[in-house]
Amino acid sequence: VPTWDDVLAEFANRTVLMPEAKDNATNGNATVAGLTRHGVKPHMAIVGTFDPTWAAAAKTMGYPILQYYNDVTGVDFSTRPALGVAAIGARDGWTTERVDACKAAGLIPGIWTINRRHEADAFLALGGEFIISDEPDYVAGRGLMRRGNQFTGGFWPHGLVQYAGGSATEAARNRGRVLATGQWQIT
């Protein structure tokens, strides 16, 4: 299994890295120490976390922070830049108004984890600016899904994807949509 140093030795400054430093100072500082040790330029890494309060090292070294949320309903975006947050990635709660409020605070609004084209299209139509996906080529329209599932052949028209298997909760969670109120929702 490659270590963080192995990944950095291979990819530093060759591709934008997006490590998710688990939410504590020890992991966050180790993540940033690795970036610094390998000379990764601040524009070549985005440090992701659910809790940016530990991320003083990332902020000090100039690495932008992507703060994750399960749901952005009620989030005060204006408080995030002081913590070094440059972008917000959320699974639920996006509306056109929340996307606009995020941008007004100087932040980049994004969503995770989008694996179907219609989900990406719906979020981008709200004004969102980035998606995080397990299937980036498929979502971008450059191929088939690579996961071994019933949708690999692209048989189901986008937006009409059937859910096969699992609980009702899983079925709802895996089918993102924009509600009649204009709010993006996965759950």
Residue 47 phi, psi dihedral angles, 5° rounding? -90, 120
Confidence of residue 87 (pLDDT cuts 50, 70, 90): very high
pTM of model > 0.85: no
172 pLDDT above the threshold of 50:
no
Geometric angle at alpha carbon 62, from 59 and 66, rounded to 5°: 60
Taking a C-beta distance cutoff of 8 angstroms, is the pair 27, 55 a contact? Answer: no
- The CA distance from 133 to 115, in Å, is 5
Name the nearest CA neighbour of 40 among 2, 83, 3, 11. 11
How far apart, in Å, do the first and last CA atoms of the chain sit? Answer: 34
Residue position matching structure tokens 């219609």: 118
- The share of the chain scoring above pLDDT 90, in percent, equals 51
Confidence of residue 69 (pLDDT cuts 50, 70, 90): very high
What SS3 class is residue 48? Answer: strand
- The CA distance from 87 to 46, in Å, is 9
- The CA distance from 163 to 159, in Å, is 12
pLDDT for 170 equals 47
Taking a C-beta distance cutoff of 8 angstroms, is the pair 183, 93 a contact? Answer: yes
- If phi > 0 it is left, if psi is from -120 to 50 it is alpha, else beta; for residue 136 that is alpha
Q: Which amino acid is at 14?
A: R
Residue position matching structure tokens 């606009």: 100
